[in-house]
Structure 1
Amino acid sequence: MNQQAHRKIAAIVFPMLLANISQPLLGLVDTYVVGHMPQVSAMAGVALGAMLITQLYWLAGTLRMSATGYSAQTLGSHQPDRARQLLWQLIALALIVAALIGALQRPLCEAVLWYAQPDQTTASVMQDYVAVRVLGAPAALLNLVLIGWLIGRQRSRFVMLVQVIGNGVNAGLNLVFVYGLNLGIEGVALATVCAEYLMCVMALLALRAQIGRCLPVWFSWQAIKQVLQINSAMLIRNLALQACLAWVTMQGAQLGDVTVAVNSVLLQFLALTALGLDAVAYAAEALVGQAAGQQDRRRIQSWVRKTLLWSLLLACVYSLIFYLAGEWIIRALTDLPAVRAMAVSYLPYAIMLPLVAHWCFLLDGVYIGLGQAAIMRNSMLLSALAGFFLPLYLLQGAGNHGVWLALLSLFVWRGVTLGGHFWKRWAD
């Protein structure tokens, strides 16, 4: 049974890991194409526009989380009609959010430009880029729902296929539109939009039997209230987490250009760690969610123990890699001697990060599977206030070391609060 269970986990983890890795590789192609344009304003404008779109889609990631939880639970409870109802409700919610993004495109751009204060050329590039990218918002947000649903159904190989093909098409169209058709910045954005719609069509075809016919009764306030409550709780959780991560950058900026550059480099270690730990969390979401749908307490406990083992082993591998190759990674990320020297002195924080953070990554996946978004929200709010901002205030005299100690404290608090609740609620 143990071997079979671990094979089931592996069947989700490894395809999702490959899918996760394909995303930053695409970013390298985008950077290469834009970075070889003659104007610096092109790179700056695309960076601002991509930041805005990425943040909006990241906040809308609640759709992916709730879709996975619902999909896994209805798989376990064998409720195809309930599954169809929830899927349609999430599809409708995704399209509404996409419409809001389109409607608010101009004020959102103006807010970013007000804060960043770029020159006129950079501002124009950003607005042109965003104007094209928002055309893909319906497909991008539908992809969050559909890919989340496929993960919950444990179809991770197909998810990998969709994302790898989509990212490959995006990279190829970048080259065709920019170098072949001379579409410039609009070509970079259009390539992404085309890839988003291709991925959406692939996912819709995979789920066509489950989507079925839509019934108007599913969209009464009473019917859709639970979906809205879960997504609003997850949105608050995401906003609190994003505030903490943004504060790391802002605090670094107050400490000088070198410090903000160092923090940017060190946050890449967190991004690398998330590629693997998220893959294990996806497995927890799908398998714990299925067990929750079956109302099988023992199976929930078993999947948590097994995925926790995977998470711990992967965290140890990450920490070992950062210990052995951390300086090489820093040298690969920056050529600036001052940034390199300071980043190396902060390397112990990057080494500790996977061992400290993997608990909350895994437990987030567990609670997504259980569909208990309110617990995730409460844990994140408490951890942000008591585990991040309070230590940050108390450690002001420690400079940037205080910032990184506060970030590690945030992950500890998230792990302890979620783990404590799980132990109290689910342990025998």
Structure 2
Amino acid sequence: MSSYPSNLLHRFLQLAIVNIISNLLVPIAGLLDVAFLGHLTEIRHLAGVAIATVIFNYLYWTFGFLRMGTTGMTAQAIGRNDPEAVRMIALRNGGIAIAIGILILIFQTPLQTLGFALLSATPEVKASGQAFYNALIWGAPATLVNFVLIGWFLGRSQSGKVLLLSAVSNIANVTLDYLFVVKWGWASTGAGASTALAQYLMLCVGLFMSRDIFGQVAIAQLFDRTELKAIFTLNRDLLIRTLALISTFAIFTNVSSTLGTTVLTVNTLLLQVVTFSAYFIDGFAFATETLAGTYYQSRSHLIRLLKIAGIHCVSVGILFAIVFITFPTALFQLLTNHQSILGEIQHFTGWLLPVLGFGAIAYLLDGYFLGLTAGRSLRISSLWATFVGFLPIAVFATVLRSSHLLWLGLTTFMLVRAVTLAIQVPLTFQLKAAKN
């Protein structure tokens, strides 16, 4: 077994800080993308990219298990000093990612037809969105393999490499966006092409940094039935978990839209706060995921890790909530200048406290159980949260046309996730392999 660090707090913070910086590069690059498209003569290109992005969010979030499953399994292999298993995990999951990416390319036309049929927009906006889709879809294989590489580096506690990959991808994306969109006038096609090419550049850099995984491979070892079954079982559970989470936020937005434009705008802005705070909380959750997998055989280290992670995650979540509750007008003015929205949003900022408070605990425990590759626990928790914690209240919110009830539903969703995972934590200390 690998030696345990003398200062778990130092290692936790080191991993978390790098993860947070890496996470924050994503929205910054996204804002620059919007700025390039938003300054074109025709605004339909920005709108088209916005609706097409919904399709890719569903598509890629659905396959997020490639990143999550790889991290936990790799960290556990590191924890038991099994370098060959570390290598095989990267190769097996990489192979799965390539296969899924190729299938996406094969079925890109029906996926496009179905996706745009479910989205409401003018023909001009849809045309721009389809042009973006047609260019970006070719980056699918690289994007999915990058998920595996990021998960693999996180599992090996190499957050610095993840930060470098994120920087390479986002800098390339912004640079190519400027070239394709501003200089060459490719509009939404250029935006899609720049993102796809940036993913392939990221892939090349990632493969170079992970070149130690290549070498002689025994086919029988690579396709070991027991190992493949474990991977597919974990990926299935994580897929169901992710679909439940995506569906919850999609339903939240759809119900908001039925309550009027003002409610939809207010709730969208508040969700932006939840999303932005998640970039910070997830930094700590990713660190928890890595260390939980690495030290899954040590009860004492797991307990200490949960205490450290809990303090940081909850503190960040509550801090974000308090700041936006205390200074709603000043902060939300950065996002909108509509006085009617600014006046209405003050009635709902209080919901940020329970949503982010319980949400921070849920994110933390999500990372903890991902590190332990406890997919079944995550699947059951997310299904309970969606179907018991959220949906019944969302139905009442729709019938009674109450946005406050809708936020209560999101609060109970976070609470149920936190509680259903928390009650299973003691069981993780009773693993047969656990040692004090």
How many matched pairs? Answer: 426
Amino acid aligned to 1:65: M
Contact 1:330 1:344 in 2 (8 A): no
1:99-114 paired onto structure 2 within 5 Å: 99-114=102-117
Bigger shift: residues 191-200 or 276-285: 191-200
Letter in 2 for 1:275: Y
Residue equivalent to 2:246:
242
Query: d(CA) in 2 for partners of 1:220 and 1:210?
Result: 17
Return 5+ residue gaps in structure 2 as ranges: 431-435
Partner of 2:277 in structure 1? 273
| Distance of 1:201 and 1:226 partners within structure 2 | 28
Secondary structure of the corresponding residue to residue 69 of structure 1:
helix
* CA displacement, residues 322-360 of structure 1 (integer Å, 9 cap, x when unaligned): 233333222211222222221121111123322121111
Which residue matches 2:11?
Answer: 8
Is 1:255 aligned to 2:288, yes or no?
no
* Matched residue SS, 1:182: coil
2:72/2:372 contact within 8 Å kept: yes
Task: Indicate how the Cα distance of structure 1 residues 306 and 57 shifts in structure 2: closer, same or farther if over 3 A, else same.
Answer: same
SS at match of 1:188: helix
Report the secondary structure of 2:41's partner residue. coil
Choose 195-204 or 16-25, whichever is displaced more: 195-204
Once residues 347 and 313 of structure 1 are traced to their aligned partners in structure 2, the CA distance between those partners, rounded to angstroms, is: 18
2:143 paired with 1:140? yes
Change in Cα spacing, 1:352 to 1:331, as seen in structure 2 (3 Å) is farther
Q: After the TM superposition, which residues 25-424 of structure 1 pair with which residues of structure 2 at under 5 Å, given as runs?
A: 25-217=28-220, 218-292=222-296, 295-394=297-396, 396-397=399-400, 399-424=402-427
User: Cα deviation per residue 1:147-179 (whole Å; 9 max; x = unaligned)?
Assistant: 111011111122112202221121111111222
Q: CA deviation at 1:59?
A: 1.3
Contact 2:173/2:198 (CA < 8 Å) preserved in 1?
yes
RMSD: 1.8
User: Letter of the aligned partner of 2:325 in structure 1?
Assistant: Y
- Measure how far apart 1:297 and its partner are: 2.1
Q: Partners in 1 of 2:336 and 2:126 — Cα distance? A: 27
CA distance in 1, matches of 2:244, 2:237: 11
SS in 2 for 1:333: coil
1:45/1:126 contact within 8 Å kept: yes
Per mean C-alpha deviation after superposition, the further-off stretch among 362-371 and 116-125 is: 116-125
* In structure 1, distance between residues paired with 2:21 and 2:12: 15
Deviation per CA, 1:362-411: give whole Å up to 9, x if none: 00000000011111000110111111112333454360100000001100
For the Cα contact (< 8 Å) 1:84–1:212, is it kept in 2? no
Distance in structure 1 (CA, Å) of the matches to 2:267 and 2:117: 24
Cα distance between partner residues in 2 of 1:326 and 1:406: 22
Could you tell me how far apart the structure 1 residues matched to 2:227 and 2:314 are? 39
Where does structure 1 lack aligned partners over 5 or more consecutive residues? none
Query: By how many angstroms is 1:224 displaced?
Result: 1.2
In structure 2, do the counterparts of structure 1 residues 188 and 394 end up closer, same or farther at CA, with 3 Å as the change threshold? closer
Q: 1: CA distance between counterparts of 2:360 and 2:114?
A: 35
Instruction: Return closer, same or farther for 1:329/1:107 CA change in 2, 3 Å cut-off.
Output: farther
Higher mean C-alpha deviation, range 237-246 or range 102-111: 102-111
Q: Partner amino acid for 1:417?
A: T
TM-score after normalising by structure 1: 0.95
In 2, Cα distance between the equivalents of 1:424 and 1:140?
Answer: 35
Aligned amino acid, residue 340 of structure 2: A
Identity %: 26
How far apart, in 1, do the equivalents of 2:217 and 2:249 lie? 40
Cα distance in 1 between the residues matched to 2:183 and 2:29: 19
CA deviation digits over 1:180-209, x for unaligned, max 9? 223222221111112111111121111111
C-alpha distance in 2, partners of 1:425/1:181? Answer: 56
| d(CA) in 1 for partners of 2:342, 2:410 | 21
- Indicate how the Cα distance of structure 1 residues 41 and 214 shifts in structure 2: closer, same or farther if over 3 A, else same: farther
